[in-house]
Amino acid sequence: RIEDKELKIYLPRMVDHAVFIQLHQVQVELYQKFSEIIRNSANTNNKGFLSDFYIFQYIGTHPQLLAVMESMKNKKIKERDLITNEQEDNPICNIDGWWKAKIPEDASEKIEYGNKLVVLKSILEECEAIGDKLLVFSQSLGELDLIEHFLKKVGTANCPSWQKRLDYFRMDGTVLPEGRYAICDKFNDKENKRMRLLLMSTRVGGLGLNLTAANRVVIMTVNWNPSFDTQSVFRVYRFGQEKEVFIYRLISQCKSSLCVFAFSIKAIAHRVVDRHQITRHYKCMDLQELYSCKPNADEERPTPNVPEDKVLAKLILKLPFIYKYHEHRTLLANRPEDNLNEQELNAAWDEFKKIKDAPPPPPAPPVLPQIPPTNGPTYADAHALLRLPTITNVQSMAKKESSNRKSP
């Protein structure tokens, strides 16, 4: 079996980042409230774990996602899956409305209550500024609905309200196979600069599609099975890619997301280092940790290294709730150059700010085309061949003619 290392010599560089995002204070209160409800109901057993886990994930994205998922449950929108025989990773859980008193009335209007969506919006704005196309993968249809809602309601700096099929496409289980390939063709059209975003469900868009027009990928939620996220990455990192590829795995600073991320890294380590298949079972003690976490939105951020990706570096300077980041593919490697002290880190960030704020260089002077030398006859050769009078002879002939006119 050929691994991705065989492709690296033929493809541009890929930088894969895991970005850890602190929760908004509203999200922290919701997380703590739901943990309290679970502890009081003594429902911290294995049977209710997945349902609780998904609710924690909804909170980590945006509080309004709880309302979206409850609406989906009430409308029985699961019939989408009956059409395509494809299942959503995040099932529609039983959300009893405990959250309604905790969510602000303007939660559907303000994206700021969900820091993960604010990061997504900022990445999208940076992509617009530099002309890069973006893929966004989600395990939840409700999360895709919420992203679409804020694209139309809030938009971005350059586009206050996004229009479907003009500014972006969405691909999920409701799109038939022939429609998926039509979307790919339109998205990959290099002449179509306006079409710059593709929202995709992980199960539908993670396999068999070529989307090399995009070179940046956002994975909204880390999957328990790391192979799903890997397949999503390879929609852009494949033959035909002409730009450097940048991956952003958005991870909320809460126990549910950190637990999944740690498990996926452990799975990769076992397969790469020990060549073992990690077990798919979890200990009861591990599940109990999900309910014991107390997220702190005010925790001070450690000074990170300056990332190679300028987009991520700008986001770190702009958004204080980006707690830290890791290069996902180098987590298993020992890199002494990353062990900088606080003074060295601050100096590196000062240098980046100077480069970021520096005025653009003046345009280079136009390059004049060079006339290639010819192997044909020169002017002197043509002059001798035609036996034309030289300039000296012409001048002497003119003098003789003028003197003859003056003489009587």
119-170 pLDDT per residue, tens: 999 999 999 999 999 999 999 999 999 999 999 999 999 898 999 999 999 9
pLDDT score of 340: 65
Q: Which CATH superfamily is domain 4-333 in?
A: P-loop containing nucleotide triphosphate hydrolases (3.40.50.300)
Residue 392 has pLDDT above 60, yes or no: no
Q: How many residues does the chain have?
A: 408
Q: Where are the beta strands (DSSP E) in 295-407?
A: 322-327
Sign, CA dihedral 45-223-221-96, equals: negative
DSSP type of residue 367: P
Residue 75: partners with Cβ closer than 8 Å, 6 or more residues away: none
Residue 217 has pLDDT above 60, yes or no: yes
Q: Give the pTM.
A: 0.77
Residue 238 has pLDDT above 80, yes or no: yes
d(C-alpha 228, C-alpha 233), whole Å:
9
pLDDT score of 65: 95
**Mean pLDDT calculated for residue range 279-289:** 55
pLDDT score of 272: 46
Domain ranges (residues) in the chain = 4-333
* CA distances, 129 to each of 126, 235, 310 (Å): 5, 23, 12
Residue 207: partners with Cβ closer than 8 Å, 6 or more residues away: 231
Tell me which residue of 321, 318, 384, 388 sits closest to 352, measured CA to CA: 318
Tell me which residue of 317, 235, 335 sits closest to 326, measured CA to CA: 335
List the alpha helices (DSSP H) in 24-133: 25-41, 49-61, 64-74, 79-84, 115-130
Tell me which residue of 259, 315, 323 sits closest to 297, measured CA to CA: 323
Residue 387: partners with Cβ closer than 8 Å, 6 or more residues away: none
d(C-alpha 401, C-alpha 406), whole Å:
9
78-87 pLDDT per residue, tens: 454 444 444 5
